[in-house]
Structure 1
Amino acid sequence: MFDNLSDKLDRAFKVLKGQGQISEVNVAETSKEIRRALLDADVNYKIAKNFADSVKEKALGQDVLTSVSPGQLFTKITHDELASLMGGESTDINLKGSPAVILIAGLQGSGKTTFSGKLSNYLKKKKGKNPMLVAADVYRPAAIDQLHVLGEQINIEVYSDKENKNPVEIAKAGITHAKSKGFDVVIIDTAGRLAVDEQMMNEIAAVKQAINPSEILFVVDSMTGQDAVNTAKAFNDRLDFDGVVLTKLDGDTRGGAALSIRSVVDKPIKFVGTGEKMEALDVFYPKRMADRILGMGDVVSLVERAQEQYDEEKARKLHKKIAKNQFDFNDFLDQIAQIKKMGNMKDLMGMIPGVGKAIKNMDIDDDAFKHIEAMIHSMTPQEREQPKLIDGSRRKRIAAGSGTSVQELNKLLKQFDETSKMMRLMGNKQNMAKMMRNMPKMPGRP
């Protein structure tokens, strides 16, 4: 997402590169290019115009410091305006109530059921809550079954009643059940509906009135662009929801919804979905998203994802094994599993400053590790623990068993050996000090 917008904004800033000062002429030209870039990204015309005018107004008359070029200053102003356009600061979900009741609404096919599962998983793992899901979509075939499958995956209880076709009654009964069982959050997944369907809109309004939820979240498929914004306005007029969820942000979308929706409905974007996995849900941070749009990466989010997968006890055991030169393929496999849990590879690499643009046209397979995993799984337990045992005949057997070649296995074994050596060096303070002393000195530096 946002690749096209990022490219166009980058081209717009090039107008100012090499310029000694900010002038009315070059600012006018750059702001015009910014407006075009936003319109191409499917941002509402009025919002795009107001944004470009605001950037232009703030840029004119700015004194450029000797250490900052006009292009850098303009980028900073645009970054701040983008963050402001998307809400400025992140907004927490409201979990007040006993139990807190969260009503999920949205269009057909927007990803409400999947998001409901992701949200319950998020609240359980990151907020320490004990959530329960309620299947109140009585119209879509297999909607109830889908929620049960998701619930089983993440070990979350799902309340449903296939005999009852009244969403209001199901929602009320689900809350009563949650109270009796001691759940502290109830997430109610409702049927998708069109804003023009008066009967369905009356129904969701009736559900809201009957249960008085702590939070109403409107789920939007970001692939629908400006249509998503118009739909959000229609729903907000009826429901007065508390926040927006953008799904499928990892898709090939121009990003208009993310940039426009806050201005149109004056409600914060609270979460973004970035994949199909239950862990692929992020809190929406406007400033971090502005960083990514302008190609600055998002190191904070990358570190947070790594920390979520960090197991202190496992790390302590691994450190001891490295110090004793006992790092083996079981540990290697465990490290791969932790990386995979962080999200899709292209998204992760795009969070590294400067890397996003370099890899935008590259096809990075999410299954990049599958051949490595296949080779390790084809080893015997003894071979995984003692890789030095893997001789010529064993290599042929492992390669055949994993559907790879002996050359690929040799490459893996070599990489593993080099990784083990580096880990031993880094784990030894004396070796690290020696490496630092032996590093070539930079000219003019001690």
Structure 2
Amino acid sequence: MLDNLTQRLAKVVKTMRGEARLTETNTAEMLREVRLALLEADVALPAVREFIAKVKEKAVGEEVIGSLTPGQALVGVVQRELASLMGADLGPEASQLNFATQPPAIILMAGLQGAGKTTTVGKLAKYLRENTKKKVLTVSADVYRPAAIGQLETVTAQAGADFFPTKTTDKPVDIALAALDYAKRHFHDVLIIDTAGRLGIDEAMMQEISAVHAAVKPIETLFVVDAMLGQDAINTAKAFSDALPLTGIVLTKLDGDSRGGAALSVRHITGKPIKFAGVAEKLDGLEAFDPSRMANRILGMGDILALVEEARKGVDVAAAQDLAQKIKSGGKFDLNDFKAQLGQMKKMGGMAGLLDKLPAQMQQAAGNANMDQAEKQVRRMEGMINSMTLQERAKPELIKATRKRRIAAGAGVQVQEVNRMLAQFEQMQTMMKKLKGGGMMKMMRSMKGMMPGMR
């Protein structure tokens, strides 16, 4: 997202090396680059003007602290103002959903057709079930779009939530009231209402969604907007903000757009906090929005916290402990264990997903690697292990020439690939042997010596 801004800022930081402080002249040079990058990213002109004015006011005359260069110091100012523009000034509570009401808490989803509302309802249902342990009911009040009701039923089932069935002949207000009654009688914590979208803003659509809002009085009214809309997001956001008392924004398709200006524009136009961001097509591809962390990612600083959270979600702690105990007690690291490690990596969002959260310098260092190719290779390795017998997985030393040919044929690869995979397995097996006995403690102590600040 906003890759262009990241590249421009990196360039200006380099040109400002050796300066003692931020001045009118060197700040103006960098702000010109920032302004161009924001406009190219489709950020609304009023938002750009206000942002540049704030950065200029806070940057000029700022002394360079310690080892920071003026370029780095200005990036710090830009980071703080970017975070503020995306809602950091509203406080951490603003981006959280409000459940302070008699259950069920009603969440009304609004937005244009194609913004990803229905998929987002499924993602949000899954998020609330897994992260807040809420009992969730979804309902579709979209009686116009073919298969909208069926689509919501499918994604709701995948999310593990409950679905209230409706017919295209029903009226949207009646649908919402019937779902609310059902949610109360079946003790649901949350009711999420998916409303109809149009291909453009029209009066009938706004009147209908306003009527649904008035009938059920939702505690959260979320505006779902496609991050790839660019300048169009401004008009859409203004129309919905005028028609409904919005409480927050959900940005979708952030993973598919290098411009992403809507993230900055919509928040500025509506004055409402961004609560969630859709970062992948899968149902778990919804993140609670954190302005400071998003500003870090925009500026190429990475999002290490998100990386840690992905690891925490993806890693099977019990399986990791079992493996550690097995190695410690003298057990051999076999191909079943190797396959389990490959599976853990896939659960963490794959290589491309992990790379996206690393700082820009580390991304550039890995830039020559083809991430899609690497992920295909992981899938091939899993295929090769799946082509083995249980005995071969447990005792890899049995795998000689004839077995390799059979495994290669079963996985649809060349024998050389089987050899390469076994070589990688042996490298990991050697590393695991070092952890046996007190090896893990030795490894940790040697890492402490290499890592500054660790004692």
Whether contact under 8 Å (1:136, 1:160) holds in the other structure is no
**Which deviates more, 224-233 or 394-403?**
224-233
Cα distance in structure 1, aligned partners of 2:341 and 2:331: 17
Cα distance in structure 2, aligned partners of 1:414 and 1:156: 44
The equivalent residue for 1:293 is 298
Whether contact under 8 Å (1:9, 1:37) holds in the other structure is no
**Which deviates more, 186-195 or 214-223?**
186-195
The residue matched to 1:275 in structure 2 has which SS?
Answer: coil
Cα distance in structure 1, aligned partners of 2:289 and 2:22: 33
Whether contact under 8 Å (2:315, 2:348) holds in the other structure is no
- Residue type of the alignment partner of 1:208: H
> Which of 392, 395, 400 is matched with 2:404 structurally?
395
Cα distance in structure 1, aligned partners of 2:193 and 2:370: 37
- Residue type of the alignment partner of 2:82: L
Cα distance in structure 2, aligned partners of 1:440 and 1:182: 55
Cα distance in structure 2, aligned partners of 1:218 and 1:405: 51
1:334 aligns with 2:343: no
Cα distance in structure 1, aligned partners of 2:403 and 2:151: 44
Aligned-pair CA distance for 1:84: 0.7
The equivalent residue for 1:351 is 357
**Which deviates more, 110-119 or 60-69?**
60-69
Cα distance in structure 1, aligned partners of 2:333 and 2:122: 37
The equivalent residue for 1:417 is 426
Cα distance in structure 1, aligned partners of 2:443 and 2:363: 35
Unaligned runs of 5+ in 1: none
> Which of 193, 197, 202 is matched with 1:197 structurally?
202
- Residue type of the alignment partner of 1:201: M
The equivalent residue for 1:206 is 211
Aligned-pair CA distance for 1:432: 4.8
The equivalent residue for 1:140 is 145
Q: What CA RMSD, in Å, does the superposition of the two structures yield over aligned residues?
A: 2.3
Whether contact under 8 Å (1:279, 1:341) holds in the other structure is no
Q: How many residues align?
A: 442
Where do residues 250-261 of structure 1 align in structure 2 (5 Å cutoff)? 250-261=255-266
**Which deviates more, 234-243 or 87-96?**
87-96
The residue matched to 1:260 in structure 2 has which SS?
Answer: helix
The residue matched to 1:321 in structure 2 has which SS?
Answer: helix
> Which of 283, 286, 290 is matched with 1:281 structurally?
286
Cα distance in structure 1, aligned partners of 2:184 and 2:31: 55
- Residue type of the alignment partner of 2:337: D
- Residue type of the alignment partner of 2:176: A
Whether contact under 8 Å (1:15, 1:29) holds in the other structure is no
TM-score (norm: length of structure 1) = 0.93
> Which of 240, 247, 256 is matched with 1:242 structurally?
247
- Residue type of the alignment partner of 1:412: M
The equivalent residue for 1:231 is 236
1:375 aligns with 2:379: no
Whether contact under 8 Å (2:87, 2:273) holds in the other structure is yes
Aligned-pair CA distance for 1:344: 4.6
> Which of 81, 92, 100 is matched with 2:96 structurally?
92
The equivalent residue for 1:57 is 57
Unaligned runs of 5+ in 2: none
Aligned-pair CA distance for 1:253: 3.6
Aligned-pair CA distance for 1:150: 1.3
The residue matched to 2:371 in structure 1 has which SS?
Answer: coil
Cα distance in structure 2, aligned partners of 1:190 and 1:240: 15
CA gap of 1:104–1:82, structure 2 versus 1, over 3 A, is same
Cα distance in structure 2, aligned partners of 1:155 and 1:177: 18
Cα distance in structure 2, aligned partners of 1:85 and 1:79: 10
The residue matched to 1:161 in structure 2 has which SS?
Answer: coil
1:27 aligns with 2:27: yes
Whether contact under 8 Å (2:116, 2:226) holds in the other structure is yes
Q: 1:352-397: CA deviations, max 9, x gaps?
A: 2222344568652254421111111111122222222212111110
Whether contact under 8 Å (1:220, 1:228) holds in the other structure is yes
Aligned-pair CA distance for 1:259: 1.4
Cα distance in structure 2, aligned partners of 1:241 and 1:411: 55
Cα distance in structure 2, aligned partners of 1:377 and 1:2: 41
1:269 aligns with 2:269: no
Aligned-pair CA distance for 1:66: 4.3
CA gap of 1:130–1:162, structure 2 versus 1, over 3 A, is same
Whether contact under 8 Å (1:288, 1:298) holds in the other structure is yes
The equivalent residue for 1:428 is 437
CA gap of 1:430–1:222, structure 2 versus 1, over 3 A, is closer
- Residue type of the alignment partner of 2:17: K
Aligned-pair CA distance for 1:440: 11
Whether contact under 8 Å (1:164, 1:170) holds in the other structure is no
The equivalent residue for 1:127 is 132
Cα distance in structure 2, aligned partners of 1:51 and 1:345: 34
Whether contact under 8 Å (1:425, 1:432) holds in the other structure is no
